[in-house]
Amino acid sequence: MIPLCFVLMPFGRKPADGGREIDFDAVYAEIIKPAIVDAGLEPIRADEETVGGIIHKPMFERLMLCDYAVADLTTANPNVLYELGVRHGIRPHSTVVIFGRGTPLPFDVAPLHGLPYGLGKSGKPKAAGTDRAALARRLRDCREQKADSPVFQLVSDFPRPDIARLKTDVFRERVAEAKAAKDRLAAARRAGTAEAVAEVDRGLGIADAEAAVVVDLFLSYRAVSAWQAMVDLVPRMAPELQRAVMIREQLGLALNRLKRRDEAVAVLQELINERGPSSETNGILGRVHKDRWDEANAAASPAAPGILRQAIATYLAGFEADWRDAYPGINAVTLMTLAEPPDERRHDLLPVVRYAVQRRLAGKTPDYWDQATLLELAVLAGDRTGAGHALADALALLREGWEAETTARNLRLIRDAGTRRGEEVAWIAEIERGLTAQAAP
């Protein structure tokens, strides 16, 4: 039976010193995972990012019961530091600490025999082969079961836990079941129907499923635009998961898609009141206000201009909370363009948004929203050639149909405003058609 190795580390790209971002997914794929396999172990990566950062029962089980662990302290991620502390308090040995060379650390890792790895200017591994081999050697050395936990090194009479074999066998079964459930959900997403996802849901047993599996189910419903199923799933979740930021944000998105605007506003505004503005939460709430404005505008309601200003302010607060995220910024610029008369602040904001997305593209692999932002910027600038290139790039990265639907709607609003002002905007309709052809039915 292959021993399990639990990996404690951030996910995705995270900011470090000097404005640089570190690509932790690349660090995992190029150094950590292959090193674990080279050492004859089976890797299990922490899923705190997937479940919104909450510390849940399966996390503690992995920290306690995995034979080996690797903890990446780069950027001093609070979850990783907390989990390392738990691990050191439970397991006397077989925990390897690593960190990106030249990055600031919260304390001196020398007493922990921390193993450095190289990072290039792009935030990706610089010498993956060498660092992979070094980590594999360190993991093999752990077979000697020499204490590497400061707790057990410094407190000689600290009691060592007796971990029952039966408990570890049950844990292995749970890990295997969670992986199988995620594989079934991935197949259901590929099928592209709500019924395919619902069939997996019926066989899961939500009450006993791991948090990461429940979140995967939640997002699988989103992928097939099953908005009511998303809303219905939330009350079935564990209370701590229901309160997770990501769950509440996506609940707000689903409620808005169901045109339950007031409920969506209540969910998202409560989150902002608790945690302050953020690019993600404000981006979703801004969309709710944008939809409210669209409806009020269509009904010739005198409240429409006020609702539009509310949407602009919401998006702008999200962009100001994190200048690196261009999504709320481009929405603020677009709505400023739609205002009557157009909001003059758009001239100052537009180049900032363009710079934000350019910096993201320079330091990461682009995703759909990056290219969709470039598309919208090109349309706002009347750049037909640039818009055509951005459309092709965006469609190549499209993940879920509702994303294209969202962009097409923004372009329709821009085209409608241009038509009212007598501008030549008929060409935008062709781009809209290219998007709606890929949108969810």
pLDDT at 337: 92
pLDDT band at 169 (very low <50, low <70, confident <90, very high): low
Specify the pLDDT at position 166: 47
Q: How distant is the alpha carbon of residue 331 from its chain centre?
A: 20
- Calpha distance 344→347 (Å, rounded): 6
> Which residues partner with 93 through β-bridges?
147
pLDDT in tens, 89-122: 888 889 999 999 888 777 777 677 889 999 988 8
CA distance 301 to 104: 54
Rounded distance between C-alpha atoms, residue 212 and residue 178, angstroms:
8
Instruction: Count CA within 13 A, CB hemisphere, residue 320.
Output: 10
**Domains, in order of start, for the chain:** 4-163 (3.40.50), 175-235 (no CATH)
The pair of structure tokens assigned to 242 is 């229901």
pTM for the whole structure: 0.73
**50 has pLDDT over 60:** no
Paired sense of beta strands 21-23 and 13-15, if any: antiparallel
pLDDT single digits (tens) 376-419: 999 998 999 999 999 999 999 998 888 899 899 899 999 999 99
Please state which of the ranges 181-185, 270-274, 279-283 shows the lowest mean pLDDT: 181-185
C-alpha–C-alpha distance, residues 259 and 250, integer Å:
14
CA distances from 166 to 38, 42, 143, 161, 172 (A): 27, 19, 22, 15, 10
What is the Rg, in whole angstroms, of the alpha carbon atoms belonging to the chain?
Answer: 24
Cα separation, 184 vs 379, whole angstroms: 40
161 vs 183: CA distance, rounded Å: 34
Whether the pLDDT of residue 321 is over 80: the answer is yes
